[in-house]
Structure 1
Amino acid sequence: MTLVIELDEGLRRPLRASPPPAIQADQLGLLADLPGTWVGGGFNVVALPTGNGGFRLKLNATIETLSFTPVGGAIPNRGSVQGDISLFGLHYLQQVSDATTFEGLHVEPGLWLNVPATTDPEAPATIVRQSTIPHGDSLLAQSTFLKDVVGGPTIDEVSTIPTGDDPKLKRAGYIDPYTNPALPAGIPRGAQINPNILLSNALEAQAEKGMKVVRTQVIQVSTQPVGGIVNIPFVTANANATKLDAIFWIETVEQADGTQFQQLQYTQTVILNFDNIDWPHISVATLVKQ
Structure 2
Amino acid sequence: MAIETIKPLMSLPENFKINEVLPEPVAGLPKPEPTLGIALSHFTGTFAGTGFNTIFRPNSAAPTTTTFTNPVTPAPPTPPSENVLELNLTQETLTFASSLGTVPNRGLEAQNDIVLNGVPYAQAINDVTNPATGRGDGKATAIHFEPGLWMRVPTTETTPKLGASLVRMGSIPHGTTINAQGLEPKAAANGPPTIPPVNITPFVINSSPPHFIPFISQTATNKNTPRIPQDLTTFIAAGTITQEILNDPNQVLRNAIAGQTITSTITFTVSTTPPPPEFGGGAGNIAFLEGDVNTTNPNADAVRMTATFWIETVEHKIVVPPFKPGEPALKIPATPAKPGLPAPVFDVLPPRELLEPTTITVTSTQIQYSQVVFLNFGGLTWPHVSVATLVPGHTQTVPHSAWG
1:202 equivalent to 2:251? Answer no
Tell me, yes or no, if the aligned pair for 2:35 and 2:117 is still in contact at 8 Å.
Answer: no
> SS at 2:204's partner residue?
coil
Shift of 1:86: 0.4
1:253 equivalent to 2:291? Answer no
> SS at 2:39's partner residue?
helix
Q: Encode CA deviations 1:175-209: one digit per residue, 9 max, x unaligned.
A: 110113634745141212211011000111xx1xx
> Which deviates more, 278-287 or 142-151?
142-151
Q: Encode CA deviations 1:107-136: one digit per residue, 9 max, x unaligned.
A: 000000010011211111000000111111
2-structure distance, mates of 1:163, 1:76: 42
2-structure distance, mates of 1:285, 1:198: 8
Distance 1:191 1:14, change over 3 A: closer
* Counterpart position of 1:232: 286
Tell me, yes or no, if the aligned pair for 2:375 and 2:382 is still in contact at 8 Å.
Answer: yes
Tell me, yes or no, if the aligned pair for 2:164 and 2:184 is still in contact at 8 Å.
Answer: no
1-structure distance, mates of 2:174, 2:369: 22
Tell me, yes or no, if the aligned pair for 1:28 and 1:88 is still in contact at 8 Å.
Answer: no
Shift of 1:145: 6.3
Read off the aligned partner of 1:97 and give its amino acid letter. N
* Counterpart position of 1:4: none
> Which deviates more, 181-190 or 69-78?
181-190
- How large is the RMSD of aligned CA atoms in angstroms? 2.3
Q: Encode CA deviations 1:73-123: one digit per residue, 9 max, x unaligned.
A: 110111113111100100000000012231111000000001001121111
Q: What are the equivalent positions in structure 2 for 1:1-290 lying under 5 Å apart?
A: 16=18, 26-51=35-60, 52=79, 54-81=82-109, 82-99=111-128, 100-119=138-157, 120-144=159-183, 146=185, 147-164=187-204, 175-180=215-220, 182-183=231-232, 185=235, 186=238, 187-189=240-242, 190-204=244-258, 207=259, 211-225=260-274, 226-237=280-291, 238-256=299-317, 257-290=360-393
Distance 1:164 1:144, change over 3 A: farther
Read off the aligned partner of 2:381 and give its amino acid letter. D
Tell me, yes or no, if the aligned pair for 1:29 and 1:114 is still in contact at 8 Å.
Answer: no
Distance 1:162 1:88, change over 3 A: same
> Which deviates more, 141-150 or 89-98?
141-150
> Which deviates more, 217-226 or 176-185?
176-185
Give me the identity figure in percent.
38
Read off the aligned partner of 2:105 and give its amino acid letter. N
Shift of 1:50: 1.0
2-structure distance, mates of 1:165, 1:235: 16
Count of aligned residue pairs for this structure pair? 264
The normalised TM-score by structure 2 is 0.61
Q: Which has the larger radius of gyration?
A: 2
Shift of 1:14: 6.8
> Which deviates more, 176-185 or 235-244?
176-185
The normalised TM-score by structure 1 is 0.84
In the alignment, structure 1 segments of 5+ residues that lack a partner are 1-12, 18-22
> Which structure dedicates a bigger proportion of its chain to strand?
1
Tell me, yes or no, if the aligned pair for 2:272 and 2:282 is still in contact at 8 Å.
Answer: yes
In the alignment, structure 2 segments of 5+ residues that lack a partner are 1-14, 20-31, 61-78, 129-137, 223-230, 275-279, 292-298, 318-359, 394-404
> SS at 1:192's partner residue?
helix
